[in-house]
C-alpha cells in the first residue's frame, strides 16, 4: 500500500534511554554456550552495550520523564499538544491505553486526540503515518509521537537468541505542518500468516499468564525460555528481512521516481550490524549511508531504533542541515514499512538518560 | 593468506570433524548463529558478500553445498 502526505514535518526528536547499562561480555555466562562462540557472535552482530530499565519501570515513566524535559527547556509547550500517539507492545496496562496514562500524568488539556498503536520494530514508520493522518485535520496543529518498549522485562536471560540484543528506550517525536510544500511518501506491507515468528505466547486473552507459563522450558537449541517470554525465530526473521525489505524500499523509490543515490541516508530499524550490512549489500547501498551502530551502543530498542539513529548518528547535523532520507522498519506482525521524506533543521535532537 | 572452508569451520566449532559429516545442521555441528559467524568469515576470506537471501540451512548442509554457495557468490575457489 502506497500513501502520500503533503506539508508535514518532523520538528524535533528526543530519545530517553535508561542509565542502567549492561554488557554482552558480562551476560555471556548466563548462556548455555561456550564463551568463545559467544565472542565470535559479538564481533559479527555488533553486540556490546545495551540500556535496560530497572525493575518496575514502565513505558509511561520514560515518556513522562522525556516530555517534562521538553517542557522545562521550552522545546514544547504542554498546552500546544493536540494529539498523543503512543506506539508500544509493552503497555503499562491492558486497560487503559498508555496514551491516556501519559495524558493524565502530564495534566494535558482535554482536547487531545490520544491513540495507542500495537507495533514494535515497524512502529516508528507506522506511528508517523498515523500521526500525519491526524495532522490532516484542521483542528490538529501539533502531535507528539511516542515510541517506547521495555522488552528487557519480557526476555529470558538464558535465551541467547534474543537476550543480548534487546534494549529499552523511548523516543518523543514532535510532528506538525510544514510551511514548505513538502511531500512524504510511504509504503506499508503486512503478512499476518507469519505472526508466530515473533511473539510472546502467553499473557494475553488467548493464553493468560499462569504459574506454568512462567516456567522456563528447554527450547531444544541450548536456550531456556518461558511462554511469558518473547520468542523470535531468528532464521525466519532474518530471511523475512532480506527477502521483503529490499523490494519494498526499491518499490517505494520507483513509485516516486527517485533514484537510489538521491537518498542521503537509509535509516533502518537496527536489529544487528550483520543484518544491516547484508541489506545494504543487497541494495548496493554504501555502508556509510545506512548507519548500523545503534545495537552496539544501546541494544535493539524496538520502535525507537530509527529515532536513536537520528539522535546518535546525525545529532548536530540534523539541527543545522536537511537530508533526504528513506526510513525502513520491519518486525512483529509481520509488518514492514518505508518512508521517503526530507528531515532536518530540527528544534531539538538529543539523547537523555532516565535515572 | 586465504584459508580453506574446512579451516574456517574448524575455527568456529573446533570440537567437530567436518569432513566426517554430510549434514552439519542435522548432526548438531552448526546452528543458525554459527551460520552467521561462518558467512562473515567466508565473506572476509574470499572478499565477497554472500547474499542475505542465500543464508538458508540447505546451503550450509555440507562442504559441497558451501562450495556451491561460494561459487554462486563470486568466490574464486
- For a pLDDT cut of 70, what percent of chain B falls above it? 99
Instruction: Please report the pLDDT score of residue B41 as a whole number.
Output: 93
Residue of A42, A43, A44, A283 best to disrupt the B interface, most CBs of B under 10 A: A44
Q: Count CB pairs under 8 A between chains A and B.
A: 53
Q: How close B69 gets to chain A, by Cα (Å)?
A: 16
Give yes or no for a contact between A102 and A117, defined as CB atoms under 8 angstroms apart: no
Q: Closest Cα partner for A201 from A222, A221, A215, A191?
A: A215
SS3 content of chain A, % helix, strand, coil (to 5): 35, 30, 35
Chain B residues whose CB is inside 8 A of the A222 CB are 31
Residues A40, B51: C-beta atoms closer than 8 Å = no
Please list the residues that pair with A323 across neighbouring strands: A343
Q: pLDDT digit of tens for each residue in chain A (355 aa)?
A: 999 999 999 999 999 999 999 999 888 887 777 788 888 888 888 899 999 999 999 999 999 999 999 999 999 999 999 999 999 999 999 999 999 999 999 999 999 999 999 999 999 999 999 999 999 999 999 999 999 999 999 999 888 888 888 999 999 999 999 999 999 999 999 999 999 999 999 999 999 999 999 999 998 877 899 999 999 988 889 999 999 999 999 999 999 999 999 999 999 999 999 999 999 999 999 999 999 999 999 999 999 999 999 999 999 999 999 999 999 999 999 999 999 999 999 999 999 999 9
Q: Do A37 and B32 touch (CB under 8 A)?
A: no
Compute the nearest-CA separation of A235 from chain B (Å). 6
Counting every residue, how long is chain B? 77
DSSP for A141-162, please give it: -EEEEEEEE-GGGGS-TT-TTT
Summarize pLDDT for A272-303 with one digit per residue, the tens: 999 999 999 999 999 999 999 999 999 999 99
Residue A208 confidence (pLDDT): 96
Q: Where are the alpha helices (DSSP H) in chain A?
A: 24-27, 35-45, 59-73, 98-106, 123-134, 234-256, 273-282, 294-298, 305-313, 317-320
Instruction: Give chain B's mean pLDDT.
Output: 90
Nearest-CA distance from A19 to chain B in Å? Answer: 29
For chain A, what is the largest distance between any 2 Cα atoms, rounded to a whole number of angstroms? 60
Strand order in the sheet with A265-268: A2-6, A183-190, A335-344, A322-331, A265-268
Residues 6+ apart with CB under 8 A from A165: A45, A47, A50, A271, A272, A295, A299, A300
Contact across the interface for A278 and B34, Cβ inside 8 Å: no
Q: What is the pLDDT of residues B32-75, one digit of tens each?
A: 888 999 999 999 999 999 999 999 889 999 999 999 999 999 98
All three cell numbers of A268: 533502518
Full set of structural domains in chain B with CATH: 5-14+21-72 (1.10.1200.10)
Contact between chains at A37 and B12 (C-beta distance less than 8 A)? yes
- Quick one: pLDDT at residue B1? 65
**CA distance linking residue A37 with residue A196, whole number of Å:** 28
Cα–Cα distance for residue pair A71/A81, rounded to 1 Å: 11
- pLDDT (0 to 100) of residue A297: 95
- Interface mutation target, options B40, B49, B56, B73, chain A, most CBs of A under 10 Å: B40
pTM metric for this prediction: 0.93
**CB-nearest partner of B55 from A37, A45, A238:** A238
Closest in A235, A274, A282 to B40, CB measured: A274
Closest alpha carbon within chain A to B55? A239
Amino acid at each position: 500500500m502506497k500513501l502520500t502526505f503533503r506539508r508535514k514535518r518532523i520538528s524535533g526528536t528526543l530519545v530517553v534511554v535508561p542509565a542502567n547499562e549492561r554488557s554482552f561480555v558480562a551476560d555471556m555466562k548466563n548462556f548455555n554456550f561456550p564463551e568463545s562462540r559467544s565472542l565470535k557472535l559479538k564481533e559479527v552482530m555488533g553486540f556490546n552495550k545495551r540500556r535496560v530499565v530497572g525493575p518496575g519501570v514502565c513505558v509511561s515513566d520514560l515518556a513522562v520523564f522525556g516530555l517534562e524535559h521538553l517542557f522545562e527547556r521550552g522545546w514544547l509547550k504542554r498546552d500546544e499538544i493536540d494529539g498523543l500517539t503512543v506506539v508500544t507492545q509493552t503497555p503499562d496496562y491492558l486497560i487503559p491505553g498508555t496514551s491516556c496514562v501519559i495524558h493524565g500524568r502530564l495534566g494535558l488539556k482535554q482536547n487531545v486526540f490520544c491513540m495507542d498503536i500495537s507495533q514494535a520494530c515497524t512502529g516508528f514508520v507506522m506511528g508517523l503515518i498515523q500521526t500525519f493522518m491526524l495532522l490532516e485535520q484542521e483542528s490538529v496543529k501539533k502531535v507528539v509521537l511516542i515510541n517506547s518498549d521495555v522488552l528487557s522485562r519480557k526476555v529470558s536471560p538464558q535465551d541467547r537468541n534474543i537476550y543480548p540484543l534487546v534494549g529499552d528506550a523511548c523516543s518523543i517525536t514532535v510532528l506538525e505542518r510544514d510551511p514548505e510544500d513538502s511531500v512524504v511518501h510511504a509504503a506499508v506491507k503486512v503478512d499476518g500468516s507469519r505472526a508466530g515468528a515473533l511473539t510472546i505466547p502467553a499473557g494475553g486473552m488467548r493464553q493468560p499468564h499462569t504459574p506454568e507459563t512462567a516456567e522456563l522450558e528447554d527450547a531444544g537449541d541450548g536456550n531456556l525460555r518461558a511462554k511469558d517470554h518473547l520468542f523470535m525465530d531468528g532464521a525466519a526473521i532474518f530471511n523475512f528481512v532480506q527477502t521483503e525489505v529490499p523490494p519494498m524500499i526499491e518499490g517505494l523509490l520507483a513509485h516516486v521516481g527517485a533514484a537510489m543515490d538521491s537518498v542521503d541516508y537509509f535509516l533502518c530499524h537496527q536489529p544487528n550490524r550483520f543484518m544491516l550490512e547484508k541489506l545494504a549489500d543487497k541494495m548496493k547501498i554504501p555502508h556509510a549511508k545506512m548507519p548500523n551502530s545503534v545495537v552496539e551502543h544501546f541494544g535493539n530498542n524496538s520502535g525507537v531504533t530509527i529515532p536513536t539513529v537520528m539522535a546518535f548518528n546525525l545529532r548536530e547535523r540534523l539541527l543545522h542541515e536537511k537530508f533526504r532520507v528513506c526510513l525502513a522498519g520491519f518486525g512483529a506482525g509481520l509488518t514492514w514499512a518505508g518512508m521517503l521524506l526530507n528531515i532536518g533543521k530540527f528544534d531539538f535532537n538529543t539523547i537523555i538518560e532516565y535515572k | 593468506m586465504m584459508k580453506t572452508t574446512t579451516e574456517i569451520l574448524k575455527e568456529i566449532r573446533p570440537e567437530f570433524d567436518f569432513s566426517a559429516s554430510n549434514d552439519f545442521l542435522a548432526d548438531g555441528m552448526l546452528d543458525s548463529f554459527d551460520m552467521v559467524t561462518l558467512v562473515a568469515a567466508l565473506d572476509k576470506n574470499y572478499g565477497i558478500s554472500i547474499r542475505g537471501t542465500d543464508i538458508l540451512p540447505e546451503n550450509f548442509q555440507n562442504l559441497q553445498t558451501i562450495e556451491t554457495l561460494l561459487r554462486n557468490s563470486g568466490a574464486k575457489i
